Structure 1
Amino acid sequence: METFVKINFLGASGVVTGSKFLIETSEKNILIDCGMFQGLKELRELNWIDLPIDVKAIDVVLLTHGHLDHTGYLPRLFKQGFRGQIIGTAPTLAIAEIILKDSAKIHEEEAEKANKEKYTKHNPALPFYTIKEAEATISLFQAKIEDKWIHLSEHILYRFQYNGHIIGATFIELDINGKRFVFSGDIGRKNDYLLKDPKTPEWADFLFIESTYGNKLHPIDDVEEILTSMVNETIHNKGNLIIPSFAVERLQTLIYILWQLYKQRKIPNIPIFIDSPMGNNVLDVFKRFPKWHKLSPEEYQAMCNHVNIVQSYRETWETIDDKRSKIVIAGSGMVTGGRVLTYLKQLIDEPSTTVLLVGYQAEGTRGRQLLEGAHEIRFFGKYYPVKATIKSIESLSAHADQGDLIHWISGIKNVPECVYLIHGEPSALDAFRVKIENTFGWHIKIPKLTNVDKVMV
């Protein structure tokens, strides 16, 4: 008997963010990831629209990893009636819990600030979701181990496989009637400072692969040499080195590298301030799940002891008022929110300030504007001139580049029936399509938002 599977592309299709893929079968309806759109205003506005599906009919959500663009829509899903299980690896759920609580708090604070200072068109401005809604969503979390096939129903199994990128991250193999659907999630890189190399799939009938850097090879920068030079320059200029950082993985990697540079006597004992409540919580996840990363407990402790953890907003202002040359690592990585805005608001018009961008900057974010040479930047309804030096290190990205992506799929032993390119901007998607077609001759599709595909299993 012929059985069909319906694939709904609800996010990360033709764009990078908002990862959501609904797999409808006769036995179970499975949502792979449940992320928020980020970046361009027209994309962010999609977050406020209910999904064009029967949310109550979703049985389970499987999470590849904890990042906001893969988990940040979960409380809205709950609000729309979802009450099934939300399954991921234990560290993924720990990260997702931190991120959801943190973003709920930010949503509530921003709505309150917008209403108080009246810089919003909405009357009243409402939080995207509340802390209470985030906590209700977290109560549906259920941790499962990596590298083990688990039955969802009679003919459907799934397995999480280690994927680098961030702690807890996996790709998901979904077996439906003997046909294998592989969802790459975000693929990490080999020889990472903190994480082990990603595993690779051996079989895929239907492959859904991220394409964030499908058109690029990361430069072979000497990250340690660049950071050494930047730190010494900051000291010479009696200035500040501000690093907007993603709280998960990038922040911990930066702490590790700066600690190593100090140990190797390449940089002096310059004060390093970590101002990211979420980043501090993620450090604790590293402590709780030592098997998911390379650090020994001793290395972990020594690394943490080398930096100053900012505990409160009052300490943020004390750090800004501290006249010493210093390094400040603060969230968020694309300069879309978080504590880094407070530092930049005060220091971005100082020529002695250097702002170092260390990861992917999505279209429409302040990070992308800075990267592209914006002469002024808007915070909380006001414009501030950019007199700081803006630099970036692309090679610190936690995303696989085109070479890594090709390596990741080259171990697949069969010819997939279809390869869906997801999680990329149009130029990256098209370049990656050409590369895969020329290398493997596989059948490729580039789905757009709200596309639906029907495949036989």
Structure 2
Amino acid sequence: MTGSKFLFDTGRAAVLVDCGLFQGLAPLRRRNWRPPELDLDRLDAVVLTHAHLDHCGYLPVLARNGWRGPVYATQGTAELAAIVLADSAHLMQEDARQANEGGWTRHHPALPLYDADDAAAAVRLFRPVDFGATEAVAPGVALEFGRAGHILGSAWAHLDLGGRTAVVSGDLGRQEHRVLRPPQPRPDCDALLVESTYGDRSHDDAGATRQLADTVNRTVRRGGSVLVPAFAVDRTEVVLVELAKLVRSGAIPDLPVFVDSPMALASLRVYRKAIANQRTEIRPELLSAADDVFDPGHLSELRTAEQSMRANRPETPSIVISASGMATGGRVLHHLKSMLPDPKHTVLIVGYAAAGTRSRRLADGAREIKIHGRYVPVRAEIEVIDAFSAHADADELVAWTTTGTPPSTTYVVHGEPESSEAFASRLATDHGWNAVVPRDGERVLV
């Protein structure tokens, strides 16, 4: 599910599509520390589909090991990835510092996987490419990006490999994304790599809106606050838009809403700029809105550590949105430590949570979770709303994948095993496609 990396080797050129960080289970995270499984001397270019950490977060490791690019991405991906990588490096350095000071590490000393200098070096390698433009990225390899509708800047990648063609879906968005227009249809190709995050599930959008309103109202009635661990990029924006709609319709009270994540606030600025610049990725109704579509009415942007600490124990019912979405690091951990032991509060999981993450353990009913070396009891209410995910569900994945001429082979990737297998089986059984779930590290012919 994490650590996406797909290497295309033509003999003349080697191009890596996505360069993601492994997250979640410890055996996966440990893979980030292995020497790069690439011949960096032969790697001509990296192509990024979007700016989430599991697709771009390993780039600083390449830079740390002396690779000097280029990295091709859309303008939106380049802007957001710069924020994401800087934040990732900061959190790694901060986690190492706290582990050393707190003594809850087996490594002496604990070190970050990479630091701010490595992240900055990776960002300098970016080369923006417009949607729909054709770019020569390596000898005999041409690239075209199409809109994927997952987060701002997200794209599917069409590669012409000199006689054979491949499409990599990246992460595909929703038909009814609250902020972005839906994915553009895929072009015909010889080989298709398609994600399968929700390959075995469907989203209930109408039910999700009701569930969000019910969760907020139920928590307010008992005097509590709602904590939303949210991905800083896109999920925060989606939740804010939905909260604003609910407040304006009278479905929930006009509560203080705190966004407590420097990366989320930086991302919010990029989204607001995209609306101001009338970017074609944005839904038309948001481009024509008179008010700030991200402000539910009493929005506070928490920038300092002191402001964040005050929000740990809200004096009145409030909504706190904080990163990271999978609760693997960041300021949300301090809010969880404070709010999880109190049954009047609610922790609301609003997106995909990979196996092994704190958000996944909470969603699965954990009675305690470990934070900063200590176990914290879970007495707060835990609510899960999958439909706020920015990932296409199974029906949307099928609709996008099966448009046009079937590829020779479809490789179902980027999903947990049961999800990938279910989606591949559906393509084969319902549509007669040659669809397989490749093994990790497998080599195939396009």
TM superposition shift of 1:289: 2.2
Q: Does 1:362 align with 2:351?
A: no
Judging changes above 3 Å, is the alpha-carbon distance between structure 1 residues 191 and 299 closer, same or farther for their aligned structure 2 residues? farther
Match of 2:235 among 242, 246, 250: 250
Q: Does 1:25 align with 2:28?
A: no
Q: Does 1:92 align with 2:92?
A: no
Distance 1:257 1:280 in 2: 17
Judging changes above 3 Å, is the alpha-carbon distance between structure 1 residues 439 and 351 closer, same or farther for their aligned structure 2 residues? same
Match of 2:336 among 339, 344, 363: 344
Whether the aligned pair in 2 keeps the contact of 1:259 and 1:306 (CA below 8 Å) is no
Distance 1:235 1:129 in 2: 42
Distance 1:303 1:56 in 2: 45
Match of 2:158? 173
Q: Does 1:399 align with 2:388?
A: no
Match of 1:223? 208
Distance 1:220 1:135 in 2: 39
1:389-428 per-residue CA deviation (whole Å, 9 max, x = no partner) reads 1001111111111111110012122x31211111011111
TM superposition shift of 1:298: 5.0
Distance 1:394 1:300 in 2: 28
TM superposition shift of 1:153: 4.8
Match of 2:282 among 284, 288, 293: 293
Q: Which amino acid aligns with 1:293?
A: I
Which runs of structure 2 are paired with 1:3-402 in the superposition (5 Å)?
16-153=1-138, 155-290=140-275, 291=279, 292-294=281-283, 295-296=286-287, 299=290, 301=292, 303-304=294-295, 306-402=298-394
Whether the aligned pair in 1 keeps the contact of 2:225 and 2:346 (CA below 8 Å) is yes
What is the number of residues matched between the two proteins? Answer: 439
Distance 1:300 1:123 in 2: 52
Whether the aligned pair in 2 keeps the contact of 1:377 and 1:383 (CA below 8 Å) is yes
Distance 2:177 2:293 in 1: 19
Distance 1:315 1:424 in 2: 37
Q: Which moved more, 1:373-382 or 1:300-309?
A: 300-309
Distance 2:140 2:361 in 1: 48
SS for the counterpart of 1:222 is: helix
Structure with greater contact order relative to length (CA < 8 Å, sep ≥ 6): 1
Whether the aligned pair in 2 keeps the contact of 1:287 and 1:297 (CA below 8 Å) is no
Match of 1:434? 425
SS for the counterpart of 2:219 is: helix
Judging changes above 3 Å, is the alpha-carbon distance between structure 1 residues 342 and 299 closer, same or farther for their aligned structure 2 residues? farther
TM superposition shift of 1:301: 2.8
Q: Which amino acid aligns with 1:259?
A: A
SS for the counterpart of 2:76 is: helix
Give RMSD over aligned pairs: 1.5
TM superposition shift of 1:152: 3.0
Q: Following TM superposition, where does structure 1 have runs of at least 4 consecutive aligned residues deviating by more than 4 angstroms?
A: 297-300
Distance 1:387 1:363 in 2: 21
TM superposition shift of 1:106: 0.5
Q: Which amino acid aligns with 1:207?
A: L
Distance 1:68 1:297 in 2: 31
Distance 1:247 1:116 in 2: 27
TM superposition shift of 1:224: 2.5
Match of 2:414 among 415, 423, 428: 423
Whether the aligned pair in 2 keeps the contact of 1:246 and 1:332 (CA below 8 Å) is yes
Q: Which moved more, 1:79-88 or 1:438-447?
A: 438-447
SS for the counterpart of 2:321 is: strand
Q: TM-score, normalised by structure 2?
A: 0.95
Match of 1:10? none
Distance 1:436 1:75 in 2: 36
Distance 1:271 1:261 in 2: 14
Percent sequence identity over matched residues?
38
TM superposition shift of 1:270: 0.9
**Contiguous gaps of at least 5 residues in structure 2:** none
Q: Which amino acid aligns with 1:139?
A: R
SS for the counterpart of 2:183 is: coil
1:129-183 per-residue CA deviation (whole Å, 9 max, x = no partner) reads 0001111111111111001222235632110000101110000000112321000
Whether the aligned pair in 2 keeps the contact of 1:72 and 1:100 (CA below 8 Å) is yes
TM superposition shift of 1:48: 0.3
TM superposition shift of 1:220: 4.6
Whether the aligned pair in 1 keeps the contact of 2:92 and 2:114 (CA below 8 Å) is yes
Distance 2:393 2:228 in 1: 22
TM superposition shift of 1:297: 7.1
SS for the counterpart of 1:55 is: coil
Whether the aligned pair in 2 keeps the contact of 1:162 and 1:170 (CA below 8 Å) is yes
